[in-house]
Structure 1
């Protein structure tokens, strides 16, 4: 088997409606650079990441090429791919590009791994990436996460129904990392089910759910960082700016 290869998929195709801004959140500026810059820079710096696939909206392809990739000399960004309507469509488009570039046989386990990351998580660290690389080579399917700090309630119709054991709860982050053929097969299966209007599917909110609903595969937790927030609302901008300013001191 060939030497392990690690490829990052950075997702930047969202509109960011909860940000209440005309500018997609991934292009908003914090610390004098667009939010998207920071996650791309983290993967660029990591010596074990061989390349990056950037996924964006079709209308932003040229902008990302000129104002992000070329401007900041992200040499590991080998492809800028147009995303789809939903997050899972965007990830699948990137997986198809990787499969074609690597000439992968879909029926054979590879030594190629993908690390799927939200471009709106600017606080990605080398420690997180290294943890993902080490753990995915061991377990083939891992997600970055941190333990929940607060008490969580299950609520229905504004009434508390139950209180899950906090010791069993983790807050899921990205990157989420997988052996490439495994996750591509799962994505292909779930998209076919969605196209066939399978009513039994839950709302898909992350990559792990794709695999969970494909073959109930066990997925291992990789330790994340509480600073690894996703910038979603205006309040998150303030928090991310504080983190970045602190790191730059």
Structure 2
């Protein structure tokens, strides 16, 4: 059975949240967003380890205050992130490789720390798909009409929404596969906006499975309002 390791990345500054508190540390009904995310993976029976990647400046707070206040049962490794998300994920993957004796059968689930509503069912779906293909992400087909504009004021063209999908996390990969793709990105100077784009750049196929509407990334104050609604809905 492969070792399955969740790499949770929490490096956001919360600028769009218009708050002095970083979005991952904002409290939702008494529990910080990041802890809610970690608790989903902690309670999942098919996650063996967790790696939490945060800015170096947040390491002490996470270790001494955030994590100390909650009783997680899954082994958790705290890792300093890098300048970019890509750097941070690579740091997490490098740590995973360092703690494993055999990398060939390991599977990693890279997840945004501010997506606390991911379901156990979606995690299972992604793990199952990655077992067959080696790389899988959840995604939702775009329902709105999407316009392309170079200057932000005038429409240049309308994109075919039947071919457009919004990527979510967890993005699940064989460890050797994603490490090789990151090495290729570093060698070619490529910067991706998510892990799947790094595999795409390396010519590695990535399977998509249906994402979840409420697997939202908390980015704006409006997202927090929706999060509050989702918590109330979950409680009823």
TM bracket, shorter-chain basis: over 0.9
Counterpart for residue 213 of structure 1: 201
Which of 123, 135, 146 pairs up with 1:129? Answer: 123
**Matching of residue 172 in structure 1 with residue 172 in structure 2:** no
* Alignment partner of 1:95 is 2:90: no
SS class of match (2:214): coil
Alignment of 1:1-249 (within 5 A): 3-104=1-102, 110-157=104-151, 158-194=153-189, 201=190, 204-214=192-202, 216-249=203-236
Please list every run of at least 4 consecutive aligned residues from structure 1 whose deviation after the TM superposition is greater than 6 angstroms.
Answer: none
Taking the aligned partners of 1:83 and 1:103, their CA distance within structure 2 comes to: 23
Quick one: distance in 2 between partners of 1:11 and 1:89? 11
Paired residue total: 235
Please give the secondary structure, in 2, of the residue aligned with 1:49.
coil
Ranges in structure 2 where 5+ consecutive residues have no aligned partner: none
1:68 offset after TM fit, Å?
2.6
CA distance in 1, matches of 2:211, 2:27: 24
Per the alignment, residue 198 of structure 1 pairs with: none
TM-score, normalisation: structure 2 = 0.95
Which 10-residue stretch deviates more, 114-123 or 163-172? 163-172
Structure 1 stretches of 5 or more lacking a match?
195-200
Contact 2:48 2:75 in 1 (8 A): no
RMSD (Å), alpha carbons:
1.4
**Which SS does the other structure have where 2:219 is aligned?**
coil
CA distance in 2, matches of 1:48, 1:224: 19
Q: Secondary structure of the residue that 2:169 maps to in structure 1?
A: strand
Q: Measure the CA separation in 2 of the matches of 1:170 and 1:77.
A: 34
